């Protein structure tokens, strides 16, 4: 079973309204995998301290930033997330001519979390990821079961001023800076001849492998990609459709625009099947340093049947460590489970409510229609409330400490199956 979808987007002025950066991602994972949204506060660490990632232990840094993450519940890293400095990151699985290492190392999802914890700008996140790749490599099973799914990773990273696309093949990489307009990535290499930064041996390695003759213009995607596979063709089709959807709203892209793109099923961006969209994220980050970023997460599968719930980083206010769901995190017993032992049940209360509501919606009828209507009303209400913070800033931070968890409770109420039509 291989993923056939995963898409990440960013739009910057002049493509957006009100001098804001809008980031979005659909995380497409096995249909039975639970995704959770978790918050970890900023923290100081002891000298020589180590951090246990999904498979390997690496050196810790002196201080880690506060992060909010959307992640498969069984692992340490994350599919997507943001930090207190308004850096946003999403990753994609990619394959190419460079073989994928099955040995346990850092997962791409570990690199997402590590970069968010350690970088205060998008370009510094590029530094963090590439330095860790050079030192520890990437590899290991990216699914909880024993299927042995492995891949290289690409990343879309944004902050208040710019975005970066970082695409990797083992330890080799190329990066492209995005200063304006829009950009999206899928499960294929997309950096061509506009390469703003690269691994020092990127081109010489390609020459040694006889992928490039050293004379023609160097095109990273052409040189490092498979010549042609059905998987690459599907990813290219989705990336093209995503670009068309961004183009359609050129100059007027906002949170609602990105949410609708992530809900689009005709393009394949909102994935269904054995691999499906199990979690979605949309972030709105003003260029004005005095205004907060707002990060919306579904924490449930299929954004069309989900509510995007807002999170705002609050300075000097102690927030709940886990903002959405119970998670095992670093103490997860799955890391030490015997081979072929069944998966633990990780379904959090919101996920369980979502399952029941989705079944009602799929069956048709008035009750399903009312659930969808109530979800959209709740989401619109939150978007309106967040617009005030995005425009005027935060006056009373105490009102935002439990913003996400309170909205989760409202979402659960909306999906309550006991109310009458």
Contacts of 142 (CB under 8 A, 6+ apart): 93, 107, 108, 109, 149, 150, 151
**For 332, which DSSP code?**
-
Nearest residue to 275 via CA among 13, 9, 7, 28: 28
Q: Which DSSP string corresponds to 142-164?
A: SSSSSS----EEEEEEE-SS-EE
User: What CA dihedral angle connects 309, 310, 315 and 321, to 10 degrees?
Assistant: 10
Residue 248 Cα distances to 8, 251, 252, 260, 299, angstroms: 17, 9, 9, 12, 28
Contacts of 177 (CB under 8 A, 6+ apart): 123, 162, 163, 164, 196, 197
DSSP three-state, residue 288: coil
Contacts of 173 (CB under 8 A, 6+ apart): 130, 133, 166, 167, 198, 199, 202
Can you tell me the distance from the alpha carbon of 287 to that of 64, in angstroms, rounded to the nearest whole number?
Answer: 23
DSSP three-state, residue 95: coil
- How many other CB atoms are found less than 10 A from the CB of residue 365? 10
Surface-to-core class of residue 373, CB atoms within 10 Å of its CB (0-12 exposed, 13-18 middle, 19+ buried): exposed
Can you tell me the distance from the alpha carbon of 57 to that of 43, in angstroms, rounded to the nearest whole number?
Answer: 18
Can you tell me the distance from the alpha carbon of 173 to that of 224, in angstroms, rounded to the nearest whole number?
Answer: 10
Residue 411 Cα distances to 30, 349, 369, 406, angstroms: 24, 11, 15, 9
Q: Mark whether 6 is an active-site residue.
A: yes
By the 8 A CB rule, do 82 and 283 touch? yes
By the 8 A CB rule, do 277 and 226 touch? no
Given 6, 88, 142, 324, which residue is catalytic?
Answer: 6
**Beta pairing, strands 309-311 & 50-52:** unpaired
Residues annotated as catalytic (active site), given as ranges: 6
């Amino acid at each position: 079973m291989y993923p056939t979808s995963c898409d990440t987007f960013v739009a910057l002025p002049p493509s957006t309204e009100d001098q804001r950066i809008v980031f979005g991602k659909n995380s497409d994972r096995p249909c039975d995998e639970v995704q959770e949204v978790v918050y970890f506060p900023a923290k100081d660490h002891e000298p020589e301290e180590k951090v246990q990632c999904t498979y390997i232990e690496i050196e810790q840094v002196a201080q880690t930033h506060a992060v909010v993450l959307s992640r498969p519940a069984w692992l340490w890293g994350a599919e997507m997330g943001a930090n207190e400095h308004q850096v946003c990151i999403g990753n994609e699985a990619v394959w190419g001519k460079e073989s994928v290492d099955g040995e346990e190392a850092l997962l791409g999802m570990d690199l997402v979390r590590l970069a968010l914890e350690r970088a205060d700008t998008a370009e510094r996140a590029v530094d963090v990821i590439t330095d860790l790749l050079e030192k520890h490599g990437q590899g290991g099973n990216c699914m909880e079961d024993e299927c042995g799914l492995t891949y290289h990773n690409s990343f879309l990273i944004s902050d208040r001023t710019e975005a970066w696309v970082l695409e990797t093949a083992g330890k080799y990489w190329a990066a492209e800076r995005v200063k304006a307009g829009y950009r999206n990535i899928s499960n294929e290499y997309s950096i061509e001849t506009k390469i703003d930064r690269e691994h020092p041996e990127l081109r010489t390695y390609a020459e040694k492998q006889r992928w490039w003759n050293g004379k023609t213009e160097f095109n990273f995607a052409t040189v490092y990609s498979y010549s042609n596979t059905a998987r690459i063709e599907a990813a290219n089709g989705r990336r093209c459709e995503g670009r068309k959807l961004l183009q359609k709203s050129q100059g007027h892209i906002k949170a609602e625009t990105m949410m609708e793109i992530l809900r689009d099923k005709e393009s394949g961006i909102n994935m269904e099947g054995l691999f499906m969209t199990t979690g979605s994220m949309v972030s709105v980050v003003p260029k004005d340093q005095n205004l907060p970023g707002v990060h919306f997460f579904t924490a449930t599968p299929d954004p069309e049947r989900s509510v995007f719930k807002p999170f705002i980083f609050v300075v000097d206010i102690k927030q709940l460590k886990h903002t959405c769901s119970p998670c095992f995190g670093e103490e997860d017993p799955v890391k030490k489970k015997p081979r072929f032992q069944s998966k633990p049940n990780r379904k959090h209360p919101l996920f369980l409510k979502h399952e029941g509501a989705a079944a009602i919606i799929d069956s048709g009828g008035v009750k399903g229609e009312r659930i969808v209507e109530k979800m959209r009303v709740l989401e619109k209400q939150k978007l309106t409330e967040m617009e005030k913070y995005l425009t005027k800033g935060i006056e009373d931070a105490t009102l935002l400490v439990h913003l996400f968890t309170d909205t989760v409770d409202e979402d659960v109420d909306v999906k309550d199956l006991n109310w009458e039509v």
